[in-house]
Amino acid sequence: MIEITVRGAGIFGLSIAWACAVRGARVQVVDPNGVGGGASGGIVGALAPHVPENWNPKKAFQFESLIAAKGFWESIEDIGGVSSGYARLGRIQPIMDNVSLELAKKRAETAKDLWRGLAEWRVTAKQPEWAPASATGYWIIDTLTARINPMRACHAIEASLLAKGITVTPEAKDKGKVLWATGTHDLFQISKELGKNFGNGVKGQAALFDLDRRHHPQVFADALHFVPHEDGTLAIGSTSEREYETEHGVDEQLETLIAKASCIMPELASAQIIARWAALRPRARSRAPIVGHHPVRKDAFIANGGFKIGFGMAPGLAMLMANLMLEGRNEIPEAFRPETCL
């Protein structure tokens, strides 16, 4: 039986631990900050695809992972008994000018081929039931986008691991093969050891409202995500801050975001804000997730750089890393390998 030590209990660490455990590995998960203690403990949870054009391996892989997500999360919930908040209810985007309208129509055609009939991207002149106003009178509707509750999803995997006798511990000695999935901490450390930028953290701030739209698709408007969750809350986010004073503190940038969101969806102005959130999200220099052999830790592995798409990529990346760590099969796309950042 192969032994695996996973350092980091965010979405990458937990999902890879799970993929290894179901294939018979003896796994331990170590994180002094606990489950979802970093960027994975967020509140937004928009599993949104790249636009269906200029197809490349990164976009293709994300598409396959988003398609696989339903089965991935259902199996975890069945074994652990904890809901992840996953639901593929789609997304609505208002089209605000004629140039964007023509582009959206072209993407509707390319989606027919690139998405292979497994999901739809279409343009409609009929205003959806819950959607912001559109300057052109048209909206984009896609059926690939899904939602998830990030923290609950992490706890759902924790529960499924516990069902197999695996607990998340604050500290333990390494056993067997070691995976580092520690987010910005490891990116900063790698950059320091290499003497050049390998990756960094981009701060995000978001807010959670007491507004029940759980049966509606999420909305993306003016670069903001509006994500209704199954518990009757609505998340909006997020900021993307390269410069910041504190890693976890919320500030006036979040208040500006809330005001902007209330202009787009006026009903938010009278809804109670029940949580404000901020954290550093790990962003690799390549802008893609980084998975494979660790660039500076000998004989170790890495899964990092999820940034805004970590939850959407997790089902696919977990399978690839289990193949590599358990069987030595390196099927990781070149765009995701650590050497792309070196």
What's the CA gap between 96 and 101, in Å, rounded? Answer: 8
Q: Which of 242, 269, 284 is the last residue of a domain?
A: 284
- φ, ψ of residue 74 to 5 degrees: the values are -65, -40
**91-95 β-sheet, strand order:** 121-124, 138-142, 91-95, 218-221, 224-228, 234-237, 199-209, 273-284
For 98-157, what is each residue's pLDDT tens digit? 999 999 999 999 999 999 999 999 999 999 999 999 999 999 999 999 999 999 999 999
Mean pLDDT by 10 residues, the chain (342 residues): 96 98 97 96 96 93 97 98 98 98 98 97 97 97 98 98 97 98 97 96 98 98 98 97 93 97 97 97 95 97 96 97 98 94 86
Same domain membership, residue 192 and residue 80:
yes
Do 204 and 308 reside in the same domain of the chain? no
Specify whether 204 is located in the same domain as 248: yes
Structural domain range at position 137: 91-143
The pLDDT of residue 342 is 86
Q: Which pLDDT does position 284 carry in this prediction? A: 96
* Residue 297 burial by Cβ neighbours in a 10 Å radius (0-12, 13-18, 19+): middle
Q: Are residues 79 and 98 in the same domain?
A: no
Give the H or E element holding residue 72: helix 57-80
Same domain, 121 and 155: no
Identify the bridge partners of residue 123 per DSSP, sorted by sequence position. Answer: 140
Residue 168's SS3 state is strand
